[in-house]
């Protein structure tokens, strides 16, 4: 049995009761989180707190990219769990690696503790396109089109998570055949980037986005963004 909970799916900032992106995948004893937006704070209270595994079980976190709305929840985790934690960090821009960016963000002046002290046993490892083990789960990563880059993730034929991305011709192939597709896309009326205030998160890709995976890749459940409350999807996989 696998359980997927959408803890947050708002892009950019929390608004109208929606939290920024974080997904929890619980399979057996394993908890794998995808992005740590503000939605991860929902693990503080029941019933979602019961998603946390036993204290000695490792929790894996896969970040899609390093924009604040997808990682602000890293600053919450000492208040959420004490489990051993592995954070899979995508590449950063330019010469600085993703793990180095995290080191720079924690400790003064941005936070009162260094990354290594967020919980008693925490590590950060680089992640890029390919397949990565996380407990008994194998996570497949694929590069998307986003300023600075972002990674889409897929777990078997169970689910795919594609956030913060624009059209990319082979995006549909990455998600093809999954049971659940969680897809967040930014809408532009034209190809040229627009000021932030004129962007909007899309709940349903408009027809002109012919390459969007949620239109091209058959999935028995396509979950769009902007949920106000945590949403649970279960499967017998
Ligand atoms: Zn982003």
Instruction: Kindly give the distance from the C-alpha atom of residue 1 to the centroid of ligand 1, in angstroms, as a whole number.
Output: 31
Is there a cis peptide before residue 121, judged by omega within 30 degrees of 0?
no
Instruction: Kindly give the distance from the C-alpha atom of residue 159 to the centroid of ligand 1, in angstroms, as a whole number.
Output: 21
- Greater pLDDT, 192 or 176: 176
The string of pLDDT tens digits covering residues 6-25 is 999 888 889 888 899 999 99
Instruction: Kindly give the distance from the C-alpha atom of residue 221 to the centroid of ligand 1, in angstroms, as a whole number.
Output: 24
Q: Backbone phi, then psi, for 235, in 5-degree steps? A: -145, 155
Q: How far apart are CA 11 and CA 91, in angstroms?
A: 20
Confidence of residue 97 (pLDDT cuts 50, 70, 90): confident
What would the mean pLDDT of 219-225 be, rounded to a whole number? 41
| Radius of gyration of the chain measured on its C-alpha atoms | 17
Q: Which domain holds residue 137?
A: 2-235
- CATH code assigned at 178: 3.60.15.10
Q: What is the domain count for the chain?
A: 1
Instruction: Kindly give the distance from the C-alpha atom of residue 164 to the centroid of ligand 1, in angstroms, as a whole number.
Output: 5
Instruction: Kindly give the distance from the C-alpha atom of residue 157 to the centroid of ligand 1, in angstroms, as a whole number.
Output: 25
Q: How far apart are CA 176 and CA 179, in angstroms?
A: 9
- Greater pLDDT, 110 or 222: 110
């Amino acid at each position: 049995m696998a359980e997927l909970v959408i803890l947050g799916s708002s892009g950019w900032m929390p608004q109208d009761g929606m939290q920024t992106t974080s997904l929890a995948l619980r399979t057996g004893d394993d908890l794998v989180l995808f992005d740590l937006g503000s939605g991860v704070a929902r693990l503080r209270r029941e019933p979602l707190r019961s998603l946390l595994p036993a204290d000695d079980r490792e929790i894996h976190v896969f970040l899609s990219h390093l924009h604040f709305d997808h990682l602000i929840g890293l600053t919450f985790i000492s208040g959420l769990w004490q489990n051993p934690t592995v954070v899979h960090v995508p590449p950063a821009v330019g010469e600085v690696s993703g793990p180095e960016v995290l080191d720079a963000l924690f400790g003064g002046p941005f936070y009162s503790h260094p990354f290594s002290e967020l919980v008693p046993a925490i590590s950060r490892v680089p992640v890029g396109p390919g397949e990565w083990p996380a407990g008994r789960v194998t996570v497949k990563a694929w590069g998307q089109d986003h300023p600075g880059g972002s990674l889409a993730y897929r777990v078997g034929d169970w689910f795919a998570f594609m956030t913060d991305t624009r059209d990319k011709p082979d995006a549909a192939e990455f998600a093809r055949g999954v049971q659940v597709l969680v897809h967040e896309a930014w809408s532009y009326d034209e190809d040229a980037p627009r000021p932030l205030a004129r962007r909007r998160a899309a709940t349903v890709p408009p027809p002109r986005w012919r390459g969007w995976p949620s239109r091209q890749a058959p999935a028995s459940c396509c979950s769009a963004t902007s949920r106000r409350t945590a949403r649970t999807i279960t499967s017998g996989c």
